[in-house]
Structure 1
Amino acid sequence: MTTLPDRPRTALLVIDVQKGVVAGAPRRDEVIANIRTLIDTARAQGAPVVWVQHSDGELVRGSENWQYVEELVRLDPEPLVHKSYFDSFEDTELESVLAGHGVGRVVVTGAQTDACIRSTLHGAFVRGYDVTLVGDAHTTEDLSEYGAPAPEQVIAHTNLYWSWQSAPGRTAGTVDTAKVTFAGAEAL
């Protein structure tokens, strides 16, 4: 269980599902549909849905590419965290948002697998959170021309290694959308 005392709740993190980030990503529509299912499930179970939005020199704040995809709609009361580093916790208010909601476990979805998703997984875990990666609800662009493995290999490898992650007092794991629950501390 989380090493964060008195934080029994679980939150869904929707990371960087922005037009310019997921354009051309493998399984884009399937991943977005799975994230939409998770958002609906979290809302139905009363779990916080926290949106994270990246900006940098290539993803300019306010631009069309910076906007979230139309298929996913944030409700006004749902927190929106702006970031400029891969780790969603780095130099943002994410930690205080989660603390304010009593969250000790995060369920991670979004893009890009080999950048913001991995960084946030590790950032949450070292900060004491239980961290679940939704294996069929994250994606990445093809960076093979720069020497990276093909996107499907990046996704598969991240799902594999996160399923074996462990540390004292915390849990981690990878599950598919259909197996995610936001109720009960024992759930992955």
Structure 2
Amino acid sequence: MTTLDNRPNTALLVVDVQNGVVDEGHERDAVVANIGGLVGRARKEGVPVVWVQHSDEELVHGSEEWRIVGELAPEEAEPRVDKSYGDSFEDTDLEKVLAERGVGRLVVVGAETDACIRSTLHGALVRGYDATLVGDAHTTVDKSEWGAPKPDQVIAHTNLYWRYQVAPGRKGGTVTSEDVDFSG
């Protein structure tokens, strides 16, 4: 349903699954395992896997905190997108990477739910993409000491509201890992 012309393909977008981002994430091991399973399925089905990595003063490019978690290993041919803002499209080459692969639909996984995941989902939708959130393959850390809800509530709320997101000619949606359909 994307509004992007000649973009029939789907990509798995893996956002910020980096040591310094997910090490204390809610249900970290289960989320990383779900992401790993989806990466394997995408590769088997010939679906592009695109890796996004955030860097800033706390996540210094090339540092151990910046690296993708050890359980996941991007393949040499899989694109990597460096970003400095929450929205993975903002001031990056993500749009170019996706256009080169004819991608109009994204399956989104990663971290952090209440920051880069939400920003990227909204960024995708407003740019004309369909964007599906995998509800059991994203996480966040506990920010309740600053007034945020507990991580399980942040994740549940994001899964709920994204399930019903639509815009003219585009749609959101939330599915579980086992219900991901890369064919559309």
State the alpha-carbon separation in 2 of the partners of residues 29 and 117 from structure 1.
Answer: 18
Indicate the residue corresponding to 1:161 in structure 2: 161
Indicate the residue corresponding to 1:41 in structure 2: 41
Give the Å deviation of 1:181: 1.6
Give the Å deviation of 1:182: 1.1
| SS of equivalent to 1:105 | strand
Pairwise mapping of residues 4-83 of structure 1 onto structure 2 (< 5 A)? Answer: 4-83=4-83
State the alpha-carbon separation in 1 of the partners of residues 26 and 170 from structure 2.
Answer: 31
State the alpha-carbon separation in 2 of the partners of residues 76 and 11 from structure 1.
Answer: 16
| SS of equivalent to 2:33 | helix
Indicate the residue corresponding to 2:2 in structure 1: 2
| SS of equivalent to 1:86 | coil
| SS of equivalent to 2:67 | coil
| SS of equivalent to 2:69 | coil
* TM-score, normalisation: structure 2: 0.99
* AA partner of residue 63 (structure 2): S
Indicate the residue corresponding to 2:129 in structure 1: 129
State the alpha-carbon separation in 2 of the partners of residues 176 and 73 from structure 1.
Answer: 22
Indicate the residue corresponding to 2:181 in structure 1: 181
> Structure 2: where are the runs of 5+ without partners?
none
| SS of equivalent to 1:3 | coil
> Structure 1: where are the runs of 5+ without partners?
none
Give the Å deviation of 1:138: 0.0
- Report the count of equivalent residues: 184
| SS of equivalent to 1:136 | strand
* AA partner of residue 55 (structure 1): S
State the alpha-carbon separation in 2 of the partners of residues 122 and 114 from structure 1.
Answer: 12
Percent identical = 67
1:108-161 C-alpha deviation (Å, 9 max, x unpaired): 000000000000000000000000000000000100000100000000000000
Give the Å deviation of 1:168: 1.0
Question: Are 1:114 and 2:114 an aligned pair?
Answer: yes
* AA partner of residue 43 (structure 1): R
| SS of equivalent to 1:47 | coil
State the alpha-carbon separation in 2 of the partners of residues 125 and 154 from structure 1.
Answer: 20
| SS of equivalent to 1:5 | coil
State the alpha-carbon separation in 2 of the partners of residues 179 and 38 from structure 1.
Answer: 11
* AA partner of residue 6 (structure 1): N
| SS of equivalent to 1:82 | strand
Give the Å deviation of 1:24: 1.3
* TM-score, normalisation: structure 1: 0.97
Indicate the residue corresponding to 1:104 in structure 2: 104
State the alpha-carbon separation in 1 of the partners of residues 166 and 175 from structure 2.
Answer: 15
* AA partner of residue 69 (structure 2): V
* AA partner of residue 78 (structure 1): E
CA RMSD of aligned residues (A): 0.6
* AA partner of residue 112 (structure 2): Q
Give the Å deviation of 1:72: 0.3
